[in-house]
Amino acid sequence: MKRFQLLVLASLAAAAAAACSSKPQTTPAPVAAGPDTAGQAAERARLDSIERARQDAARRAAEEAERAARQRTADSLAAIGRGSEAVRTLFATTIHFDFDKANIHTDDAAILDQKVSVMQANPQVTIRVTGNCDERGSDEYNLALGNRRAVSAKQYLTSHGIDVGRIATASNGKERPIDSGHNEAAWAKNRNDQFDIVAGGDALKQP
Amino acid sequence: MSRVAPGSFAPLLALALGATVRAGTAQDTSRIDRGVRIGIIYRPGVRPGMVVLPAAAVPDSVRAIIARDLEYSDRFELITLPGGDSIHLATAAAPAPAAPAAGRTGTSGAKPASGAAAATGLNYPLYQALGADFAVTLTAAKADSTIATVHDVAAGGVRRELRVHLPPPTAPEFRMAVHRLADRLLDAALGVAGTAASRVLFVLDGKVYSIDQDGAELKLVSASEHTALSPAWAPDGRRFAYMEFWQGRGRLFIEDLATTKRAAVAVLGQALDFTPAFSPDGKTLAFSRGNEEGTDIYTVNVKDGCCLQRLTVGRFADNLSPVYSPDGQRIAFVSTRAGAPQVYIMGADGTDQQLFAPFDYGVTGASYAPDWSPDGRSVAFHRDVGGTYQVFVLDVRMRAVRQLTSVGRNEDPTWAPDSRHMAFVSDRSGVRQLWIVDVETGRIRALETQSGARLPAWSPRLPETTTSTP
C-alpha cells in the first residue's frame, strides 16, 4: 500500500514537472518498469510520440488563445481607460458659490446630477468634496465656510440617492485659490467645490 | 509715584482719525508748531519724559534695546539728547553740585546709591530742562553684572537700582534678557508691567514664525510640507498649538518652542479641526471642528490626552474661533446662529450661550476672531464695515463696542500681555502685514513688514528659561 502511494506521488511529480513549460522538457517518465518485449516497446514509443505531438499542439493552441485574450483585455482596458478619463474629467467639474454663501446654484444642479449618475454607474467609487473660498473673507471663518460648501454638495448628492459613506467632505478655506488674482473674476473662480475621486476610480464606466 | 495717573491720557483723537501718525517723540515736545497741523498732538506733560543715557562700558545695543522698549511701551516721551550724546558725556565729568544731596533727600522709594557714585552724579536740572521726568543710566559693575538705575529727575534722586547679569550680545538669550530688564525699568518708573519680554507668533506662507515684540529675532518655528494656520500660545509661554492642513482636513499639533518637538493632539481623528485655544490652566484645548453637521466647538484634555467634549450643537449654524476668558470660566466664540457671524459667549462647559458683542440685525457687519484681553476687561475682534474689516473692542462689563481702526483692512487682533497693546493684520501700507497699536493713544507701529504675514498670536510674558533646553 505504501509502495503504491509512493508510485502515485512519483508519477504526479513527473506530471507536474512535465506541465511546467518554463523548465526544459525532461525525458518521459517510465510509467511502469515491467519487463517489455521489443514490439511492445516500439508500439509504446510510437503512441508516446503521437501523444506528445498532440499535447504540443494543444499547448500551442492554448498559448495562442491566451495571447489573444490578453490582447483583447488590453485593448478593452485602453478603451475603458479612454472612457474613464473622459468620465474623470467630467466628474472633476467644479461648482461655484456666491460670496459668503454655501447654497447650490440652480445652474450647478445639472453638474451635480451628472456626478450622481457617474456615482450610480460606478458603485465602487468614493469621493471627497472640498470647499474653497475667495480671499476676501476672514482666514479662519473661511475654513468653516468651505466646510459648509462641501457639505452642501454632499447633501445634494445623498438626497439624490448616493450613499453617505461614499462622500467625504473637506475644506481648504481660502488657502488654495485656483486663480491668484485680486478681482471678482478670480474670486468667483475661487469660491468653489472641488470633486476628487478617492478610491475605485481606475476604470470608470460611462453613466 | 507716577505724576500722571493711568487713564488720564489724551482723549483718543487718534481713534477717530484712525491716524497712523508716528512722529518722533522728540519733535512732539520740542519743536515749535507753525501753521496748521493735522494729526495728533500730545499735550506736553501728558506722558512723562524719559531719557536713556549712553554708557561707556555697556554695549550700545543694550541702551538701544532698552530705549526702544520704553518707547514702544507708549508710556513715555522718549527724549533724544540735543547734539547727540556729547551733552551727557560732557556733563558727566563735572556733576552738578546739588545732585548728590538731592539724591539722598529724594523720593521715599529711593535706595541708597551704594557703590554707584557715577549714577547719582547726574545733572538733574539739565535733564529736567530737556523735559525728562525719568532718566535711566547703565553702568558696568563687577562680575560681569550691569547696574541699571532709574532716576527720578524731578525729585533729583535715584528711584531704583537694578543689578542684572546680561549675557554677551552674541548669546542667543541676550535680547530677551535686555527686554526683561526694560520691563523691570518700566515697573520701577511707573509701577506697571510691560510687554518687552514677549513675542508674537504668526503665519507667513503657510509656516509659523516667531518675532520679538520689537520686531527683532524673526525665527521660523514650524515648517513642514503642510500649510500651517492659527498658532495659539500655551499659557506657560513655552509651547504653542496650531493647525495644519492635511488634504482638506485640519490636524492640531502642540509644539515645544525650545526643542521644536511637536505632537499631534491626541484623541482627535480625521476631521477638519482648527482654531485651537488653550485654557488658562493649560490643561484644556478648545477648538473648532468642521464635519458634516457644520462646524462646532469642542474641547479636549491635552494634559491627559483624553475626554473629547462637544460644547456647541450648531445644526444649521457654524460655531468657531473659541477663546477662553483669563479666569477660564467662559469662552467667547463666533457663531452664525443669527445669520451673519457674530461674537457670542458661553460657559467653559458650553452652558448659557448668549450674544456677547451687540449688533443691529441686518445692519451691523459680520464679526470674527475674538481675542480676550489678559486683564479680562476687553474682547477684541474684527468686523465687516462697508466691505472691509476693522478692529473693534468690546467692553466686557458694559457690553459696549467701539471701533479701533479705520484705515485700510484690519483684522485678527491679538492682545499683548499688558492688555493695552494689540497686534493685528492690516493692509494700510499697501501689503498685508503685522502692526501694533497702543489702544490708549492710538499710536501705531509696524511689527513685521513682510507681505502676507497674518494670524498673529501675542505671547504671555515669557519665562526666563524660554531658550534654554534642559
Say what angle helices B174-190 and B60-72 make with each other, to 10 degrees.
50
**Intervals of chain A under pLDDT 50:** 1, 10, 16-24
Question: Which residue carries 475674538 as its cell?
Answer: B370
Residue A4 confidence (pLDDT): 53
The three grid cell numbers given for residue A169, joined into one nine-digit string: 467632505
- 3-state SS assignment for residue A139: coil
Residue B6 confidence (pLDDT): 42
The residues of A whose Cβ lies within 8 A of any Cβ of B are 100, 128, 130, 138-141, 143-145, 147-148, 150-151, 154, 169-173, 175
- Mean pLDDT, chain B, whole residue set: 84
Interchain contact, A144 vs B288, CB within 8 Å: yes
Residue A36 confidence (pLDDT): 62
Closest CA to B81 of B59, B44, B60, B50: B50
CA–CA distance, A7 with A179 (Å, rounded to integer): 77
**C-alpha distance across the termini of chain A, in Å:** 64
Could you tell me how many residues make up chain A? Answer: 207
Please state whether the predicted TM-score (pTM) of the whole model is above 0.95.
no
- Collect all residues of chain A within an 8 Å Cβ-Cβ radius of residue B321: 140-141
Residue B371 confidence (pLDDT): 98
Residue A11 confidence (pLDDT): 52
Interchain contact, A175 vs B320, CB within 8 Å: no
Residue A67 confidence (pLDDT): 85
**Amino acid of residue B453:** A
Shortest CB distance from A138 goes to which of B290, B336, B411?
B411
| Residues 81-110 in B contacting A (C-alpha not used; CB under 8 Å) | none
Residues 6+ apart with CB under 8 A from B154: B3, B128, B133
Residue B314 confidence (pLDDT): 84
Interchain contact, B455 vs A144, CB within 8 Å: no
Residues 6+ apart with CB under 8 A from A16: none
Interchain contact, A140 vs B368, CB within 8 Å: yes
Which residue in chain B has the smallest CA separation from A100? Answer: B340
CA–CA distance, B303 with A95 (Å, rounded to integer): 43
Residue A72 confidence (pLDDT): 78
Query: Do the strands A95-96 and B199-204 form a parallel or antiparallel pair, or are they unpaired?
Result: unpaired
Residue A27 confidence (pLDDT): 52
Interchain contact, B274 vs A141, CB within 8 Å: no
Give yes or no on whether B11-40+195-458 and B49-72+76-190 have one common fold. Answer: no
Residue B182 confidence (pLDDT): 96
Return the residue in A100, A147, A151, A194 with the most chain B beta carbons within 10 A, the one to mutate for interface testing: A147
In chain B, what are the domain boundaries?
11-40+195-458, 49-72+76-190
CA–CA distance, B351 with B343 (Å, rounded to integer): 16
Residue B100 confidence (pLDDT): 41
Write the DSSP string, B309-353. Answer: EE----TTS-EEEEEE-TTSSEEEEEE-TTSS-EEEEEETTS-S-
Residue B85 confidence (pLDDT): 54
> Which CATH architecture does the domain made up of B11-40+195-458 adopt?
6 Propeller (2.120)
pLDDT tens column, B166-207: 999 999 999 999 999 999 999 999 999 999 999 999 999 999
Interchain contact, A148 vs B318, CB within 8 Å: yes
Residue A192 confidence (pLDDT): 96
Return the residue in B229, B287, B292 with the most chain A beta carbons within 10 A, the one to mutate for interface testing: B292
Interchain contact, B341 vs A139, CB within 8 Å: no
CATH number for B49-72+76-190 (one of 2.40.10, 3.40.50, 1.10.260, 1.10.150): it is 3.40.50
Sign of the Cα torsion A46, A51, A52, A58 reads positive
B273 at A interface, C-beta within 8 A: no
Residue A207 confidence (pLDDT): 80
Residue A50 confidence (pLDDT): 85
Q: In b/e form, how buried is each residue of A31-43, taking b as 16+ CB within 10 angstroms?
A: eeeeeeeeeeeee
B207 at A interface, C-beta within 8 A: no
- Collect all residues of chain A within an 8 Å Cβ-Cβ radius of residue B412: 138-139
pLDDT tens column, B235-274: 999 999 999 998 778 999 999 999 989 999 976 777 899 9
**Intervals of chain B under pLDDT 50:** 1-42, 44-45, 86, 89-119, 466-470
Residue B30 confidence (pLDDT): 35
